[in-house]
Structure 1
Amino acid sequence: MAVSGGGPLRGELRVPGDKSISHRALLLAALADGVSSISGLSDGADVAGTAAATAALGASVESAGGVVVVRGGELRAPPGPINVGNSGTTIRLLAGIAAGCRFTTVLGGDASVNRRPMDRVAEPLRLMGADVDGSDGGRRAPLRITGGALRGITYQPPVASAQVKGAVLLAGLFAAGETVVREPVATRAHTEEMLAAFGADVCLGAGEVAVRASRPNPFEFAVPGDPSAAAFWMVGAALVSGSAVTVRDVYSGQGRDGYLRVLRRMGADLSVAPAGEGRVHLTCRSSPLRGTTITAAEVPELIDEIPVLAVAAAAADGPTRFEGAGELRHKESDRMHSVLAGLEACGASAEVDGDTLVVRGRSQLRGGRIDAAGDHRIAMAFCIAGLVAGTETVISGWRSVATSYPGFVSDLARCRGA
């Protein structure tokens, strides 16, 4: 795919349903005893994989007229290994459910997922009483999980991870006694918020979440737009002169607006308008940006937006530091490497110092050849970089955008008036 600079970005659009919420809605519907209806579900490949996984575990999943109907409550052993594709969220959350089922489930994925660390999920599930094995001494997928009589635990994850927290809480729905997850650094709260909204026995406290054996009730739910997808348009509008873009009906819950706070610190002309419970309309207009420091405490709330924030940083006045960003190495690609390589290919000055990414701004970006490494967020971030580059930017592996945002390229063309 080739991207060149041109006119401003203008218009209104809707991004796909939030990917994190879509995964959890499908899994909780599979656990609920009855029929649930979900509208606005993400149309990305990751969420399609979660739908297939829930069906493999015995849920009925049907789609008609933009609504996905799930009949859940009766989980059974899958007929074979479950392949989650590229989705680390799916495999980790599903591991929590599999740990509570009295049968054996094998969970694997593509090469990217099978490289990612799974011991951070396997260890607490073993402590709860599940038998979890895997490759590389149990540290990598495929995972072989035999569930059984789980017991509640109090657990503090060694890394800030909403996926690990979610896996332990989902396993806790099957466990005797209380399961508590304590977080020294807050992460996205989707799992616990949705468990509470759908009637599970969950208690949300300061810095911790507790759950007891229970099931969610069947539900009707509309998935709001994905803030991580909206971030590309907010950065693009900020960088491209004369731009004004509105993204409608974007999720506004806890832990998902960190990138907006960072962009405001950088000087972005952002406005946020209420759009109903848990939703906002976001508008960004072009403006000069300045560098800032993103602290390690902020990173868990904006880890997925760092690639495109790094592009914003490259065009800002002054340096930007992303501190404590080591988790980038364990995403769909080694994003620390992918972001650094992409910035350097575009003529930006950047370096990695341990777990800190430093981007020296005010670079006149030039076109370059970008290897997206099969990573949807790298592909989309450097599409945005290409809009302000002096020459053509060529991105290999751009079709990976289908992981989360299949319509990204067509939305880009529409905002450019093509």
Structure 2
Amino acid sequence: MAHTAPQPFAVPAERALTGALTVPGDKSISHRALMFASLAVGESRISGLLEGEDVLATAAAMRAMGAHIERGADDIWRVNGVGVGGLRQPDTALEMGNSGTSTRLLMGLVASHPITVTFTGDASLSGRPMGRVIEPLSQMGADITASPGGRLPLMVRGICPAVPITYTLPVASAQVKSAVLLAGLNTPGITRVVEPVATRDHSERMLRGFGADLTVEETSECRVISLVGEPELKPQDITVPGDPSSAGFWLVAASIVPGSDIVVRNVGLNPTRIGLITALRMMGADIAELDPRTVGGEPVADLRVRHAALTAIDVPANLAPSMIDEYPVLFVAAAFATGRTTARGAHELRVKESDRIATMAAALGACGVAYEEHEDGLAITGTGGGPIPGGATIASKLDHRIAMSMVVAGLHAAATITIDDIAPVATSYPAFFQTLASLTQITEETHA
């Protein structure tokens, strides 16, 4: 979705966060719930679905390929699927807006169906390379024509039957893994993905829940996921837990702003997603898990977070796959710690909605934070708990996570930080600013 009118936002500083909140449904799980339900035979019901622009782009794409998807007055989404192999030729190109997850996963889905689909996106998404997905899908027989640099717009000519492959991920990427598994659904035989480093496993958990024959073998060197093709997926009732990536902004905000004490309800704590919580606890953050439980096969808890003095650490590189989307807000936490935090092992940040390493380096640097940029991360010298200088207008580069991360930084700044455009936040967290106002007790009049 193109944002033609920038929406600047001046961050209200030095206001403690207090109260309780519920974050939106997990984005990764929401995407997959819609896709897998669209491939099941019968009606699935999804509650807690994230209703941000990225997930709505997935819903629109699945409708365009034949699934019947409706949101009820009870906030439950009902999906009547077409069955594995039943996707139809869409009448027009699929517009993905800013959603890289939608694009990469749907490319996999289309690759093993006898249809031809063109994918388009906004300026940010069109700058993101798709080559790492194109490579394995081409090995399976799909014919993919991309714009220069392997970018959107691109066309996928699916093939049926596709060729099952065993594919070793060259970099840790849940999106590439999921794209290959989705292609494998309508492929006879066994499709295998080998992960040298484990990534988020929502696809594996949910595919098994829908009835796919999927096994995971753990060895000392790797993780091997094997999927038997052409299953009959059965409809499910799915409850989407709260998104740990969205919760991450509040975990850091409450940790750095003096006087803060919040409870974030219903946060998904899948072991492949809690790298930020692990890193923050290593830094001394006060994060307590309340009422741990299991919802829809995923571990969930309420998190109480109170302001704490953070200490710099060397972030273990092996945490990168479990916190790749949270690095920008981790960089913010580091800006307020005592000492020099080094956070590396995150090459993937270079090819997100923006180059998140360069963009966060520029943003923090403009606010007076001392940093050193590396190819795979940043080293940041913190304030020891005091406010950062601030006083800058931040170029968010149409990246929702950059915008929200720098809002968090601005909550403890000596001079006002202004975000140049907060419109992209709607892609993943439409209620972010309403929640901010509630936790900080700001009104429109106060902010104005």
TM category, shorter: over 0.9
The residue aligned with 1:109 is 121
Does residue 343 of structure 2 align to residue 322 of structure 1? yes
The residue aligned with 1:66 is 75
Does residue 269 of structure 2 align to residue 248 of structure 1? no
Residue deviations 1:253-312 (CA, integer Å, cap 9, x gap): 131111100000000011012342021101110010011112332111101111111000
Segment drifting more, 268-277 vs 48-57:
268-277
Residue deviations 1:134-187 (CA, integer Å, cap 9, x gap): 1116x1122211112112111011111000000000111111211110111111
Q: Give the partner amino acid of 1:229.
A: S
* 8 A Cα contact 1:319 1:359, kept in partner: yes
Q: Distance in 2 between matches of 1:352 and 1:215?
A: 49
Segment drifting more, 307-316 vs 267-276:
267-276
The residue aligned with 2:358 is 337
Q: Give the partner amino acid of 1:365.
A: I
Q: TM-score, normalised by structure 2?
A: 0.91
* 8 A Cα contact 2:67 2:79, kept in partner: yes
Shift of 1:109: 1.1
The residue aligned with 2:91 is 79
Q: How does 1:164-183 map to 2 (within 5 A)?
A: 164-183=176-195
Does residue 441 of structure 2 align to residue 417 of structure 1? yes
Q: Distance in 2 between matches of 1:258 and 1:66?
A: 31
The residue aligned with 2:175 is 163
Q: Write out the 4+ residue segments of structure 1 that deviate beyond 3 Å after TM superposition.
A: none
The residue aligned with 1:24 is 32
Q: Give the partner amino acid of 2:113.
A: C
Q: Give the partner amino acid of 2:343.
A: F
* 8 A Cα contact 1:249 1:275, kept in partner: no
Q: How does 1:224-263 map to 2 (within 5 A)?
A: 224-263=241-280
Q: Give the partner amino acid of 1:144.
A: M
The residue aligned with 1:145 is 156
Q: Distance in 2 between matches of 1:140 and 1:399?
A: 23
Q: Give the partner amino acid of 1:175.
A: T
* 8 A Cα contact 2:14 2:413, kept in partner: no
The residue aligned with 1:369 is 393
Q: Distance in 2 between matches of 1:111 and 1:201?
A: 39
* Superposition RMSD in Å: 1.2
Residue deviations 1:218-245 (CA, integer Å, cap 9, x gap): 1111101000010111101110111111
Aligned length: 417
Q: Distance in 1 between matches of 2:217 and 2:421?
A: 43
Quick one: which of 380, 390, 399 aligns to 1:359? 380
Q: Distance in 2 between matches of 1:311 and 1:14?
A: 22
The residue aligned with 2:322 is 301
Quick one: which of 46, 54, 59 aligns to 2:62? 54
Q: Give the partner amino acid of 2:49.
A: L
* 8 A Cα contact 1:151 1:176, kept in partner: yes
Q: Give the partner amino acid of 2:327.
A: I
2:59 partner SS? helix
* 8 A Cα contact 1:310 1:359, kept in partner: yes
* 8 A Cα contact 1:325 1:357, kept in partner: no
Over the matched positions of the two proteins, sequence identity in percent amounts to 47
Q: TM-score, normalised by structure 1?
A: 0.98
* Cα pair distance change 1:164/1:307, threshold 3 Å: same
The residue aligned with 2:6 is none
Does residue 224 of structure 2 align to residue 208 of structure 1? yes
Quick one: which of 421, 425, 437 aligns to 1:397? 421
* 8 A Cα contact 1:99 1:147, kept in partner: yes
* 8 A Cα contact 1:38 1:222, kept in partner: yes
Q: Distance in 1 between matches of 2:242 and 2:127?
A: 29
* 8 A Cα contact 1:4 1:391, kept in partner: no
1:145 partner SS? strand
Residue deviations 1:83-111 (CA, integer Å, cap 9, x gap): 11000000000011101111111112112
* 8 A Cα contact 1:246 1:284, kept in partner: yes
Q: Distance in 2 between matches of 1:312 and 1:16?
A: 22
* 8 A Cα contact 1:4 1:389, kept in partner: no
- Structure 2: tracts of 5 or more residues without a match: 1-8, 443-448
The residue aligned with 2:403 is 379
Q: Distance in 1 between matches of 2:16 and 2:368?
A: 22
* 8 A Cα contact 1:35 1:218, kept in partner: yes
Q: Give the partner amino acid of 2:80.
A: R
Q: Give the partner amino acid of 2:431.
A: G
